[in-house]
Amino acid sequence: MERRGRLTLLGTEWSAVRRPFVNTSDVPLRVVTIHDPPSIYAQQHRNGSVTYSGYLFQLWQIVADELGLSYRMSAPLSPGYGSLSSNGTWTGVVGDLAYGRADVALTLLNPTPERAAVVDFLDGVPMGSESTTFLVRRDSEAAPSLSLAMFASLLRPLGADVWWTLAAALLALSLVLRLSLRFNSARAEDGRLVRDMGWGSCLLAMTMTVLGQGWDRTPRSLAGRTVTIFGWMMAILIYVNYTANLMSFLTTHTVGRPINSVREFVQQPAWTLAIPAGSQKLNKLRSSRDSFERELYRRSTTGDRFISIYKTEKRRAECGSQAGYRELSFGNLLAFLCLVPLGVALSLIVLALELLISRVRSPKRRRQLRSEV
């Protein structure tokens, strides 16, 4: 471990390792960067000079000192990380590298196939890690008091009709699971599992599926496994939608009309698109087959109801009058709730086929046993 100012470097000290490169040229490296807090801060002063700070800049200073590099910092010819323009040329940091205006770029730049075709990405120096967490205020006045409404809010990401439909789905799937175990042939299903997995146990197992818990044993028959798989699929989708909507409910304000599609966003004349200049998303919008996504790219090139975040950091874009959240209704989840009747029907069909095959094979098995005797 080595300390450099306020930085702590983990691992072997650089000074103990043979330097792979020493810059002997009198020409300093041209290092291009943008104001990209918290990694890079580019502060321009009234006299026209620019000073740089931030943990990524400090790390670059350490690398340059260890390798004996001289350099000078500059801003790119056009702001942003770098994206392909409509005429096929590169902008931003990537453009300065691709066209020889800079030797090194110092910024957080996501590698994409398009960018990798024109610039080289260096990943030999670890620079940071991140984790996602929730933060709350310390003062007690901001903490809500315990109430029934607080616990009821855990149900609000999904509408009441969704919860009732989910309960009915659990009952239906557990009933079909029990039928597939109870009435299947002894050849297809384990007798001990049939005795242990009563209707209550099947209902508990399906509930555990929705809660993301596993089972100690699973059915052996194809019919039982079919309904189990459909239960898992429904549980995963419910879990994902519930979690995503719960996050929205806890972190945003209620709105009357959220954005449901890119088309709806484009058709609203009062909404403004805000995106980082040179974002890789612009390249995807440019080559998209969706005409509405291509319209968003057109707006980014013409400036029509578009804000480049790194050009105007002090401005704030708003989509509509409020940020949004609403409960997911039965209609929103209808597409994957249809998995339940599909799974029930398919499992019953498989159960019927397994019983039919068992009856066909039973006389043959009895004749085989008699011949052996």
The residue-averaged pLDDT of 344-353 equals 86
Same domain, 196 and 338: yes
In a domain, 127, yes or no: no
In a domain, 242, yes or no: yes
Same domain, 49 and 166: no
The closest alpha carbon to 125, from 65, 68, 59, belongs to 59
Structure tokens at 204: 């508990």
Distance CA 35, CA 314 (A): 13
Q: What share of the chain in percent tops pLDDT 70?
A: 70
Same domain, 247 and 346: yes
Same domain, 45 and 103: yes
Domain end marker among 62, 94, 116:
116
Does pTM top 0.75 for this prediction? no
In a domain, 350, yes or no: yes
- Which residues are registered as beta bridge partners of 40? 36
Distance CA 279, CA 283 (A): 8
The range of the structural domain enclosing residue 196 comes to 155-253+332-372
Q: Is 303 left (phi over 0), alpha (psi -120 to 50) or beta?
A: left
pLDDT at site 365: 54
Domain end marker among 116, 133, 163:
116
Residue 23 scores a pLDDT above 80: no
Q: Is 54 left (phi over 0), alpha (psi -120 to 50) or beta?
A: left
The closest alpha carbon to 73, from 106, 96, 100, 36, belongs to 106
| Segment 144-191, tens digit of pLDDT | 666 776 666 667 777 777 778 888 888 888 888 888 888 887 777 777
User: How far apart, in Å, are the Cα atoms of 181 and each of 190, 196, 198, 341?
Assistant: 9, 10, 9, 18
Same domain, 303 and 350: no
In a domain, 324, yes or no: no
The β-bridge relationship of strands 104-105 and 29-32 is parallel
| Terminal CA-CA length for the chain | 79
In a domain, 300, yes or no: yes
* Contacts of range 266-273, beta carbons closer than 8 Å, 24 or more positions apart: 266/292, 266/295, 266/296, 268/319, 268/320, 269/305, 270/320, 271/305, 271/319, 271/320, 272/305, 272/306, 272/307, 272/317, 272/318, 272/319, 273/299, 273/300, 273/305, 273/306, 273/307, 273/317
In the chain, the number of structural domains is 3
pLDDT band at residue 32, thresholds of 50, 70 and 90?
Answer: very high
Amino acid present at 292: F
The closest alpha carbon to 14, from 23, 6, 4, 5, belongs to 4
Same domain, 239 and 338: yes
In a domain, 136, yes or no: no
In a domain, 64, yes or no: yes
Domain end marker among 116, 133, 165:
116
Distance CA 114, CA 89 (A): 12
Highest mean pLDDT out of 68-77, 115-124, 207-216, 225-234? 68-77
Same domain, 55 and 110: yes
- Which residues are registered as beta bridge partners of 275? 308
In a domain, 145, yes or no: no
Q: Which residue has the higher pLDDT, 129 or 366?
A: 129
Strand, coil or helix: 7: strand
Distance CA 233, CA 236 (A): 5
User: How far apart, in Å, are the Cα atoms of 39 and each of 26, 36, 57, 349, 366?
Assistant: 28, 6, 7, 59, 77
Same domain, 283 and 225: no
Q: Which residue has the higher pLDDT, 108 or 93?
A: 93
What is residue 144's DSSP assignment? P
Write down how long the chain is: 373
Same domain, 281 and 368: no
Same domain, 31 and 80: yes
pLDDT band at residue 111, thresholds of 50, 70 and 90?
Answer: confident
The closest alpha carbon to 323, from 249, 236, 240, belongs to 249
Same domain, 16 and 103: yes
Same domain, 249 and 342: yes
